Structure 1
Amino acid sequence: MRRKIILSSGNKHKINEIKDILKNTIFDVVSKDDLGYLDFDVEEDKDTLEGNAFKKAEELHKLVKGIVIADDTGLFVDALNGDPGVYSARYAGEPVSYKDNNKLLLKNLEGVPMEKRTATFKTVMAVVLEDGSRLMAEGECKGKIAFEERGTNGFGYDPLFIVDGWNKSFSEMTEEEKNQVSHRANALMNLKEKLEEASEGSGN
Structure 2
Amino acid sequence: MNTEEPKRILIATKNPGKAKDFSLLFEPKGYQVMTLLDYPEIEDVEETGYTFEANARKKAETIANRLHMTVLADDSGICIDALDGQPGVVSARFAGADKSDAANNAKVLSMLGALDNPSRKAHFHCTLVLAHPERESLVVEGDIEGEIAKFPQGENGFGYDPLFFIPSLNKTMAELTGLEKNTISHRAMALKNLEKVWTEWLEKEVE
TM-score (normalizing by structure 1): 0.92
Deviation at 1:190, TM superposition (A): 1.4
Q: Equivalent residue of 1:29, what SS?
A: strand
Matched, 1:141 2:177: no
The one-letter code matched in structure 2 to 1:166 is L
> How do residues 49-64 of structure 1 correspond to structure 2 at under 5 angstroms?
49-64=52-67
Deviation, 1:128, is 0.8
The CA distance in 2 between the partners of 1:159 and 1:83, in whole Å, is 17
Is 2:68 aligned against 1:68?
no
> Could you tell me which of 148, 157, 161 is aligned with 2:160?
157
Moved more, 116-125 or 94-103: 94-103
Partner of 1:129: 132
CA contact (8 A) 2:74 2:126 kept: yes
Question: 1:178 maps to which residue?
Answer: 181
Amino acid at match of 2:34: V
Asked if the contact 2:65/2:132 (under 8 Å) is kept, the reply is no
- Are the structure 2 counterparts of residues 193 and 29 from structure 1 closer, same or farther at C-alpha, using a change threshold of 3 Å? farther
SS at match of 2:67: coil
Q: Percent identity?
A: 37
Residue segments in structure 1 that go unaligned for 5+ positions in a row: none
Aligned partners of 1:201 and 1:193: how far apart in 2? Answer: 15
Alignment deviations for residues 86-139 of structure 1 (CA, whole Å, 9 cap, x no partner): 11111112223101000000001115558x200010000011124142101111
On the 8 A contact 2:148/2:163 being kept in 1, the answer is: yes
Aligned 8 A contact 1:22 1:192 in 2: no
Structure-2 separation of matches of 1:67 and 1:149: 36
Q: Deviations 1:177-199 (Å, cap 9, x if unpaired)?
A: 10110001111121123221213
Secondary structure of the 1:92 match is coil
Aligned residues: CA RMSD: 1.8
Is 1:11 matched with 2:15?
Answer: yes
* Correspondences of 1:44-123 after superposition (within 5 Å): 44-110=47-113, 113=117, 116-123=119-126
Select the structure that is richer in helix. Answer: 2
Tell me which residue corresponds to 1:27: 31
Aligned length: 202
TM-score (norm 2): 0.90
- Find the aligned partners of 2:111 and 2:144 in 1 and give their Cα distance: 21
Q: Which runs of 5+ in 2 are unaligned?
A: none
